[in-house]
Chains A and B, each alone.
Chain A
Amino acid sequence: MSFDSLSYLLFLPAVLLLHRLCPPRGRWIVLLGASLFFYASWNLPLTLLLLAVIAVSYLAGRLLARLEKPRQRRAVLVFALALCLGLLLYFKYFRFLAGALAALLGQSWKLWDVIVPIGVSFYTFQALSYVIDVCRDPARVERHFGYYALYVSFFPQLVAGPIERAERLLPQLRAGAQGNAEDLRTGLRLLLVGYFRKLVIADFCGPLVTAVYAAETPDGSAVFLGTLLFSLQIYNDFAGYSEIARGSARLFGIRLMRNFDRPYLALGFRDFWRRWHISLSQWFRDYLYIPLGGSRSGLARRLGATLLVFALSGLWHGANWTFLFWGLFHGAGLCLELLFRRKPIDQPWQKALGMLLTFLAVSFAWIFFRASSLPHAFALIQCLFSRWDLSAGLALLGITATDGLWLGAALLSGGLLHRLSQKDARPRDMTLVWLLLCIALAWLIRLGQGGENAFIYFQF
């Protein structure tokens, strides 16, 4: 059940109604039942994997809270991490790692297919953050299994984040609050913004990007425009998902963290990662970068830790060399900033130039993210730096004047969407009416094209 399917639009009000009818003490049961149903609607047997991760991390948390000897605690932590990460490695990376090993040994192995469970990277990381937090501070343990299971499986953020921390989400789930009128208004507003981003902007860019990335030897201008469109698509697709997740949770009176903050206005790679997929960046910072030494260690160690964190962050997105390269590209960018950027940027023209250069560098890196393989990515880069024929590029993309108008409006709407997703936004009725009308029309266009466009981050 995807957020942009009709079944979700029926599921969400039904759960909200049940939640409102239920007394506060039993609300977690409604939400847990709905979350498991939501996940089981993708794949029933793989719900067992989700339950296994919940059970392992819950038991590890209880044990960590009870044990006092550091050696025993460390053993429990290592065991829980190994089990959860082992499941993640098997389901997501088995074919990739075995294939790489076979290539290294010059062998050809017949490997069986493994279905990658949807959202496995997200809920495993959320469970791991809880176990590590309890190991650091046993007072953070959650003794109620139901609340804990709901924390890992809460349906708005189960499949593609934000990766919430227990200290933020668990108290809200325990309180069993129901959304007040303000929560309902804000939730609906966030839902509208999210659906607008997905249906009106991301789904519009999708076919244009595919036309370029599926072509054998596209023109340099087509690669350039297609990659810029992919930057627009992936941002609005993922930020749209996050806003729908926040909006859905807010209807129940639960506040999820903001996952994006206008990332394409970033000044440099460091700033970009403060604004892009914030929950994942913070996870890697708190549970990997800082334990590796963080900003207080020497320069060489910082550089090494940065590269390692970004290599793993790239691989987190998928079992493919392209993601590893994408992560390393960002890691290298950050290392260069660490080495050479000394003075803060003050002048407005410097800021504008810095933003433009960062956007172009980040967009360039998206080529690795979007390409099907490393040779494909390098071939596209070769095309990018060879012949440029704008008319041929536009013909490949098939952009009309209407599309141009649409794209311009989509770009300009970024500021409006950002304002609407702020907590104290006060939109007048007509803004929301226009948003709703645009979403309805985009939905009609999608129906006319006869297909669904899955959220890009669902595959991770």
Chain B
Amino acid sequence: MGLLQNAAGPLCIYERSDMSLLHMPAALLLYLAALLLTALGAVRKKGLALSYLGGLCWAGGSLLAWYGGTPPRELLAVALLLLLIEGLRMRREGGP
């Protein structure tokens, strides 16, 4: 992890948020569960229920993270990952 200097002062290129997700084990755990459930839901034939469950885990993790002061940019980054994983289902089911 390298510290860089710019006009605004010391800047860590890896994280500069107030309260990163990495410091919130409960939210992180819920997010990991969301990723796992969504991935399972996307690869299984009738996995929509698992995906919904993954969505609920994301919602729970986001509430915790939001309450803990995590910037919305990090919540969005996780939501983007989940969107991509969910998109695998469309590819598997033979989109255009």
Stretch with Cβ within 8 A of B (4 or more), from A57-65, A374-382, A422-430: A422-430
**Contact between chains at B84 and A395 (CB < 8 Å):** no
Shortest distance from the beta carbon of A390 to any chain B beta carbon, whole Å: 10
Q: Is A31 an interface residue (CB 8 A)?
A: no
Q: Across the interface, name the chain A residue whose C-beta is closest to B16.
A: A400
**Contact between chains at B11 and A395 (CB < 8 Å):** yes
- A395 CB contact (under 8 Å) in B13, B48, B55, B95: B13
Q: How far is the CA of A180 from the CA of B52 in the complex (A)?
A: 28
**Contact between chains at B79 and A437 (CB < 8 Å):** yes
**Contact between chains at A406 and B77 (CB < 8 Å):** yes
A residues in contact with B41, CB < 8 Å? 430
Q: Is A312 an interface residue (CB 8 A)?
A: no
Q: Is A315 an interface residue (CB 8 A)?
A: no
Q: Across the interface, name the chain B residue whose C-beta is closest to A396.
A: B6
Task: Say whether chain A's binding surface is mostly helix, strand, loop, or mixed.
Answer: helix
**Contact between chains at B80 and A435 (CB < 8 Å):** no
Q: Across the interface, name the chain A residue whose C-beta is closest to B21.
A: A402
Shortest distance from the beta carbon of A432 to any chain B beta carbon, whole Å: 9
B residues in contact with A409, CB < 8 Å? 77, 80-81, 83-84
B residues in contact with A442, CB < 8 Å? 76
* Contact A419 to B90, CB < 8 A, known contacts A396-B6, A405-B81: yes
**Contact between chains at B83 and A434 (CB < 8 Å):** yes
**Contact between chains at A434 and B82 (CB < 8 Å):** yes
Q: How many A-B residue pairs have CB under 8 A?
A: 117
- A430 CB contact (under 8 Å) in B4, B11, B12, B51: B51
**Contact between chains at A395 and B96 (CB < 8 Å):** no
Q: Is A438 an interface residue (CB 8 A)?
A: yes
Q: Is A433 an interface residue (CB 8 A)?
A: yes
Q: Is A412 an interface residue (CB 8 A)?
A: yes
- Residues of B23-82 contacting chain A, CB below 8 A: 38, 41, 48, 51-52, 55, 71-77, 79-82
**Contact between chains at B95 and A431 (CB < 8 Å):** no
Q: How far is the CA of A415 from the CA of B38 in the complex (A)?
A: 19
B residues in contact with A405, CB < 8 Å? 77, 80-81
Shortest distance from the beta carbon of A78 to any chain B beta carbon, whole Å: 45
Shortest distance from the beta carbon of B68 to any chain A beta carbon, whole Å: 15
Q: How far is the CA of A269 from the CA of B24 in the complex (A)?
A: 49
**Contact between chains at B55 and A430 (CB < 8 Å):** yes
Q: Is A448 an interface residue (CB 8 A)?
A: yes
Q: Is A200 an interface residue (CB 8 A)?
A: yes
Q: How far is the CA of A433 from the CA of B16 in the complex (A)?
A: 29
B residues in contact with A435, CB < 8 Å? 83
B residues in contact with A412, CB < 8 Å? 84
B residues in contact with A438, CB < 8 Å? 76, 79-80, 83
- Residues of A382-430 contacting chain B, CB below 8 A: 391-392, 394-396, 398-403, 405-406, 409-410, 412-413, 415-416, 419-420, 422-430
**Contact between chains at B84 and A413 (CB < 8 Å):** yes
B residues in contact with A429, CB < 8 Å? 48
A residues in contact with B55, CB < 8 Å? 430, 433-434
* Contact A430 to B52, CB < 8 A, known contacts A391-B2, A395-B11: yes
B residues in contact with A400, CB < 8 Å? 12-17
**Contact between chains at A402 and B72 (CB < 8 Å):** no
Q: Is A441 an interface residue (CB 8 A)?
A: yes
B residues in contact with A402, CB < 8 Å? 15, 17, 71, 73-74, 77
Q: Is B18 an interface residue (CB 8 A)?
A: no
A residues in contact with B17, CB < 8 Å? 400, 402
**Contact between chains at B72 and A441 (CB < 8 Å):** yes
A contact set with B: CB distance below 8 Å:
200, 391-392, 394-396, 398-403, 405-406, 409-410, 412-413, 415-416, 419-420, 422-431, 433-435, 437-438, 441-442, 444-445, 448
Q: Write 25 A-B pairs (CB below 8 A) sorted by A numbering.
A: A395-B4, A398-B16, A400-B16, A402-B17, A402-B71, A402-B74, A409-B83, A413-B87, A416-B83, A419-B90, A419-B95, A419-B96, A425-B90, A425-B95, A426-B90, A428-B90, A430-B38, A430-B41, A430-B55, A431-B83, A434-B82, A434-B83, A438-B76, A441-B79, A444-B72
In addition to A401-B15, A431-B90, 5 A-B residue pairs with Cβ atoms within 8 Å of each other are A391-B4, A400-B12, A433-B55, A438-B83, A441-B76
